[in-house]
Amino acid sequence: MFIEYIFTQDDGKVLQYKIDFDRTRKHTLDEKHYPNWAQLDFHQCTNCPLKIEEYSHCPVAIDAHEIVLGFKEILSCKEVDIHVITPERAYFKRTDAQTGLRALIGFVMASSACPVLSHMRGMAYYHLPFASLDETVFRMTSSYLLQQYYVYKKSGQFDLEFEGLKNRFKEMQTLNYHFLERIRAACDADSNLNVLATLFTISSMLSLSLERHLNEIEYLFE
């Protein structure tokens, strides 16, 4: 399955990314083909289970490095036309570059080989660009409950208090913080930094106030 993002600037410049959901990579890659900041031990996440003896590069950094390079000269406040093409439908939005880049980076991270983000693959497969915070809460909690259904079928256990989901948000906070340090070393423009900072803020906010967000949409089910 492929998902394609096309960014068209007012001056006619086009940035186009076609991402294979089922992409695979070797554990050890040729260092000369990738930037130094993509190496696994460069600001490696403190909760990363990968070992430098087995992996040469960070899976998320490898997947994201071409996107980061493409956006080095684009400011986050700059408006662009964004087309997103999935196997089922196409989306369009004219908005600031940061919004589109956040959606693209979010998909790339969630569909990467990063073990910390492996639980996000189900949501990535049913990717929704430009999702609002309420949509994100709805999708993440629904996805978690579906996973719990499969866990229950195997073990008889079911987490209805979302304790596991809250722990995931904390893990994502740690990952986003350290990945932001990688991006700082890679770019001068502010788009990439703002995107990762926003992702960090969302995961932090959801880990602290998930119940409040769930209460806000409870009326939809009454």
By C-alpha distance, which of 127, 138, 113, 118 is closest to 40?
A: 113
Range(s) of the domain holding residue 62: 2-221
Backbone φ/ψ region at 188: left (φ over 0), alpha (ψ -120 to 50), beta: alpha
Burial per residue of 135-165, b for 16 or more beta-carbon CB atoms within 10 angstroms, e otherwise: ebbbebbebbeeebeeeeeeeeeeeeebeeb
pLDDT score of 199 more than 70: no
**What are the pLDDT digits (tens) for 52-102?**
999 999 999 999 888 877 776 666 678 999 999 999 999 999 998 888 888
Kindly report the pTM of this predicted structure: 0.86
How many whole angstroms separate alpha carbon 181 and alpha carbon 41?
12
What pLDDT is stored for residue 179 in this prediction?
85
* pLDDT-derived band at 125, boundaries 50, 70, 90: very high
Dihedral, CA of residue 181, residue 109, residue 162 and residue 130, to nearest 10: 100
Number of domains into which the chain is organized:
1
**CB–CB of 2/89 below 8 Å?**
no
Backbone phi, psi, residue 196, to 5°? -70, -35
pLDDT score of 196 more than 80: no
Backbone phi, psi, residue 16, to 5°? -130, 130
